Amino acid sequence: MSTPFRSPNSSTTPILCLGMARTGTASLAAALRILGFHNVHHGLEINEDDPQWTVLDRAADATFPTLSTYTGKPFTRAEWDEVFGSYDAVTDIASFFGMSLIRAYPDAPVILVERDIDKWLVSIDQVLRPTSSIWMQRLIQFVEPVAGSLAGRVMIKVEKGWTEAREPKEVLTNARMAYVRHYREIREAVHEDQLLDLELKDGWEPLCKFLGKEVPGIPFPHVNDAAEYREHAKRSQKRVLKNFAKNALLLRFKSKSKGT
């Protein structure tokens, strides 16, 4: 067996899985865990009130020039370590910040999974379309502060910034351009020795060779990203609405108490 590119649970740098969301990120995360990289960051496992969203909000402002909140100040490794520093590998949401992460972790191994662009556009539509509606954005802006959540507002900002959208409807119309640019920039930026272009249908061998791991004696995992996303979205929406109702009642009660 070859020498591992990095050891799991080390304190160095995470594996950067920068294939875009809805390209089999959940399957890749499951595979990495089987190989011993147990702590894998994936958006499906972050609650809507997780403090990580505050860091990701700052990261969006530092990363995407088309945002009105853009700071022009690069996000440093120390700042990225606030959210990703304890992880063996990062995927899914991390892909939106691909170039920033490559600059912050220049020695990191990078794994790219690219899906047929037309199939990807159909799949990513169910992620982008709900939050690309101006009415949904206004609802999120109203509900989330009361509910104590930041996730929806951050993802609106990230999706808008990644697609270079100036208005909500451009998130969808610019997605194809953003996808092509994403893969081109990463392949140009990462040395070939650090980059694995992975096709999940090829199974364990390419991934294990890249990471210096023995091939497991079990099938390569295949997780239904679409189904997982729908379930995650339903759970998140229920929690947010529940917290909104609870907190709104508390605010109303406090307001009445002050008035008496």
Read off the pLDDT of residues 185-222 as tens digits, 9 standing for 90 and up. 999 999 999 999 999 999 999 999 999 999 999 999 99
| Run means of pLDDT, 10 residues per run, the chain, 260 residues | 37 89 94 97 81 95 97 95 95 97 97 97 86 72 70 90 93 96 98 97 97 97 73 59 58 55
3-state class of 144 per DSSP?
helix
> What confidence score (pLDDT) does residue 130 get?
75
In this prediction, what percent of the chain has a pLDDT beyond 90?
63
> What confidence score (pLDDT) does residue 47 get?
72
Q: What is the pLDDT of residues 68-86, one digit of tens each?
A: 999 999 999 999 999 999 9
DSSP string over 56-117 = HHHHHHHH-TTSTT---PPPPHHHHHHHHTT-SEE-GGGGGGHHHHHHHSTT--EEEE---H
CA distances from residue 160 to 196, 218, 236 in whole angstroms, order as listed: 28, 40, 21
**CA gap 14, 89 in Å, rounded:** 5
**CA gap 16, 110 in Å, rounded:** 5
Other Cβ atoms within 10 Å of 80 Cβ, number: 22
**CA gap 159, 171 in Å, rounded:** 7
Other Cβ atoms within 10 Å of 165 Cβ, number: 22
Domains with residue ranges and CATH for the chain:
15-250 (3.40.50.300)
Q: CB burial class (10 A; 0-12, 13-18, 19+) of residue 158?
A: buried
Other Cβ atoms within 10 Å of 172 Cβ, number: 17
Global pTM? 0.83
Q: 75 and 59 in contact (C-beta within 8 Å)? A: yes
Q: CB burial class (10 A; 0-12, 13-18, 19+) of residue 56?
A: buried
> What confidence score (pLDDT) does residue 18 get?
99
> What confidence score (pLDDT) does residue 147 get?
65
